[in-house]
Amino acid sequence: APALAEKMGLGRTALPEEVAAWDLDVAPDGTGLPVGSGDALVGEEVFAEACAICHGDFAEGVDNWPKLAGGADTLDHDDPLKTVGSYWPYLSTTWDYVNRSMPFGNAQSLTPDEVYAIVAYILYSNDLIEDDFVLSNETFLDVEMPNAGGFILDDRETSEAHFWKAEPCMADCKDTVEITMRAAVLDVTPDEEGAEEA
Amino acid sequence: MTMSFKGKPSRRAFLKGAAAAGGTLASASVAKAAGDPLITEVQEWASATGEGVDATPYGLPIEYESDVVRRNVEWLTADTISSINFTPIHALDGTITPQGCAFERHHSGAIELKKEDYRLMINGLVDQPLVFTYEDLERFPRENRVYFCECAANTGMEWAGAQLNGAQFTHGMIHNMEYSGISLRSLLEEAGLGAAGDLKDKWVYVEGADASSNGRSIPMEKALDDVLVAFKANGEALRKEHGYPVRLVVPGWEGNMWIKWLRRIEVTDQAIESREETSKYTDTLEDGTSRKWTWVMDAKSVVTSPSPQSPIKHGKGPLVITGLAWSGRGAITGVDVSVDGGKNWMPARLGAPGTDKALTRFYLDYNWQGEEMFLQARAKDSSGYVQPSKSELREVRGLNSIYHNNCIQTWWVKANGEAENVEVS
């Protein structure tokens, strides 16, 4: 838009301490990681205190809360178990997400060393490191994530190219139509009284 | 998962409807004898007075519409703070979603953020990192656009089979609003993109002010194209639960990227690969590999009435079959409707011409003779894409994708007018 060719002169310069306070994201290559370290033994204590009530003592998950460990080699199964160990491609994401958004309800309350220790404990729970491995900003990229190669870019335009049809069928498109599944049989939809009570 | 629900809602809704229909019939028979008392007798509202203009400074729908509300499905998530609810699309018409019943999806709850406390930061590979107040944003040149916001998981519970009985539950993670705001491009240009160098390989990382942050990476090309930083929806300020005071609008792309309570935009030279684009919003295929960065929402449609929550109560004769169609790849160019499970199709009438990446209403004016129907709708968009059947999708993707289920929906309308969510061969 021509009106935007010149700057509006709105806003003010962000100060370094302001950027440091909000720019916490960590990229797969480790960009953004603060200096610090922790191991699984310390992590076990921090995890027990801050995380285990929902995620279980061994990161195996309580009730419907997310399981952080387990599920190795289940991704091609009927009901894959997707955890940090079985699914997540980058360790950076675990560090970044725990640091910014966990514990649930008390986010941004952990020190960098505590986050390193928790992440080490999650790795240990997934059998991905030994208990004497010290996770730090320097050893971070030494950890191999099992599913790092498990992702492909959105390929719908090629693998689903046949969905772009010149003219879809309009008449006599199939011989028979039989019911193969019914939602009423499963019967898991909340009823209207339930909504009014809630 | 815990399933604590009982009863069949469609049956219950149907019986409620039947009772209402019975009342109408009684009135009609009275009318034969002595005229309809609703006409022949002076009614209270035609004699006494109604409410004054000072009664309701900001109104809610009339009590008789109390069923047109957002609904929660308890067993879907571990708690209601990081969860989803559903727009009552079975009861709405037209295309604009009333904000008060437009679905919510939060990852750490709907936060309360005052305009006075609001700050937006732009940093990273920009010439000048900036901080804006809310008042600053209102001074940029403004745009108005209507777009749909569809959760990537809309219809996700239906991958393995027909599960939830109602269009609200199967297709209600969607809303469509008229947004007023400013282009993301104008903010990026204000900070200056000279420092970013070649923009082709650059990204913007966007995050919210809430505890979940919901950070996502957006390629620069999209950021400079049509992404809006919005502060009004359907004419008024955003609702708290929709990101007040400022949210991102990412036309045609999965709802997760529409960052609410937007607080920071960072220009980067790589995707951050945050939790919401690795653990979540990646789509696992049958062989165990997963697609990532499946941003666009493909063409999709659903018949909203008749449907399980909106059964036929009026008997045989004229029937309005209606629904919604939309595509993240462009405008809806047509919708076909089948009453026989996809054997034969009839072109529906669009309520208004389809517009780019927005909901489109369709109608098929039908003469129903009480026969069973397998109702389906099939959307077509301006890119030439035709909405696929569920079996066509499963052939490519298997059953474990969770997200991006845009398959053709079937409602089994029975002779008594009840409708049920089914799959057909």
CA distances (Å), origin B383, targets B18, B345, B379: 44, 21, 12
> Over the stretch B260-292, which tens digit does the pLDDT of each residue have?
999 999 999 999 999 999 999 999 999 999 999
How far, in Å, CA of B69 to CA of B79, rounded? Answer: 20
CA distances (Å), origin A33, targets A99, A135, B172: 10, 12, 39
Of the candidates A19, A178, A180, which has its C-beta nearest B129's C-beta? Answer: A19
Average pLDDT, integer, range B396-411:
97
Q: Is B65 a domain residue?
A: no
For the cut 80, the answer to whether the pLDDT of residue B64 exceeds it is yes
Q: Is B238 a domain residue?
A: yes
- Give the closest residue to B145 by CA, choosing from B299, B251, B265: B251
In chain B, % of residues over pLDDT 90: 89
For the cut 70, the answer to whether the pLDDT of residue B4 exceeds it is no
Q: Is B14 a domain residue?
A: no
Of the candidates A82, A101, A170, which has its C-beta nearest B345's C-beta? Answer: A170
B152, B243: one domain: yes
B157 in Cβ contact with B76 (< 8 Å): yes
Is the previous residue joined to B61 through a cis bond, with omega within 30 degrees of 0? no
CA distances (Å), origin A169, targets A166, A172, A173, A177: 10, 8, 6, 16
Query: Which of B15, B65, B386 to mutate to probe the A interface, most A CBs <10 Å?
Result: B386
For the cut 90, the answer to whether the pLDDT of residue B92 exceeds it is yes
Secondary structure E strands in B117-215:
119-124, 130-133, 143-150, 174-183, 203-208
B336, B307: one domain: yes
Task: Identify the pLDDT of residue B32.
Answer: 62
Of the candidates B75, B291, B425, which has its C-beta nearest A177's C-beta? Answer: B425
CA distance B310 to chain A (A): 13
Q: Is B31 a domain residue?
A: no
B370, B277: one domain: no
How far, in Å, CA of B36 to CA of A166, rounded? Answer: 55
A80 to B69: CB separation less than 8 angstroms, yes or no:
no
A19 to B121: CB separation less than 8 angstroms, yes or no:
yes
CATH number reported for the structural domain that contains residue B370 in this entry: 2.60.40.650
B230, B351: one domain: no
> Over the stretch A158-177, which tens digit does the pLDDT of each residue have?
999 999 987 899 999 999 99
How far, in Å, CA of B146 to CA of A105, rounded? Answer: 34
Q: Is B70 a domain residue?
A: no
In chain B, % of residues over pLDDT 70: 92
B288 to A180: CB separation less than 8 angstroms, yes or no:
no
Q: Is B24 a domain residue?
A: no
Contacts of B278 in chain A (CB under 8 A): 88-90, 93, 151
Mean pLDDT of the residues in chain B: 93
Contacts of B215 in chain A (CB under 8 A): 25, 100
How far, in Å, CA of B175 to CA of B167, rounded? Answer: 13
Average pLDDT, integer, range B371-384:
98
Q: Which of B239, B266, B291 is where one domain is finished?
A: B291
Average pLDDT, integer, range A73-93:
97
Average pLDDT, integer, range A33-47:
97
- Give the closest residue to A68 by CA, choosing from A80, A79, A82: A82
Contacts of B274 in chain A (CB under 8 A): 25, 93, 96-97
For the cut 90, the answer to whether the pLDDT of residue A189 exceeds it is no
Q: Which of B265, B291, B317 is where one domain is finished?
A: B291
Average pLDDT, integer, range A35-55:
97
Of the candidates A104, A153, A174, which has its C-beta nearest B292's C-beta? Answer: A153
Task: Identify the pLDDT of residue A5.
Answer: 53
B217, B350: one domain: no
How far, in Å, CA of B20 to CA of B35, rounded? Answer: 19
B386 to A8: CB separation less than 8 angstroms, yes or no:
no
B164, B212: one domain: yes
B332, B359: one domain: yes
Of the candidates A164, A179, A194, which has its C-beta nearest B5's C-beta? Answer: A194
A93 to B82: CB separation less than 8 angstroms, yes or no:
no
A189 to B9: CB separation less than 8 angstroms, yes or no:
yes
Nearest CA in chain B to A96: B274
B251, B185: one domain: yes
Name the domain count of chain B: 2
- Give the closest residue to B361 by CA, choosing from B96, B60, B178: B96
Contacts of A27 in chain B (CB under 8 A): 268, 270-273
Q: Is B151 a domain residue?
A: yes
B316, B393: one domain: yes
Q: How confident is the model at residue A2 (pLDDT cuts 50, 70, 90)?
A: very low
Token duo for residue B194: 């000279």
For the cut 60, the answer to whether the pLDDT of residue A134 exceeds it is yes
In chain A, % of residues over pLDDT 70: 94
More confident residue, B148 or B10: B148
B164, B194: one domain: yes
B168, B208: one domain: yes
Q: Is B360 a domain residue?
A: yes
Mean pLDDT of the residues in chain A: 93
B343 in Cβ contact with A173 (< 8 Å): yes
Segments forming the whole domain that contains residue B172:
105-291
ipTM of the complex: 0.93
- Please report the DSSP string for A44-79 in residue order: HHHHHHHTHHHH-TTSS-STTSPP-S--TT-TTSSS
CATH number reported for the structural domain that contains residue B270 in this entry: 3.90.420.10
Task: Identify the pLDDT of residue A6.
Answer: 78
Measured between its terminal Cα atoms, the distance across chain A in Å is 49
Q: Which of B237, B261, B291 is where one domain is finished?
A: B291
For the cut 60, the answer to whether the pLDDT of residue A55 exceeds it is yes
User: At A19, which helix (H) or strand (E)?
Assistant: helix A16-22
B269, B380: one domain: no
For the cut 90, the answer to whether the pLDDT of residue B20 exceeds it is no
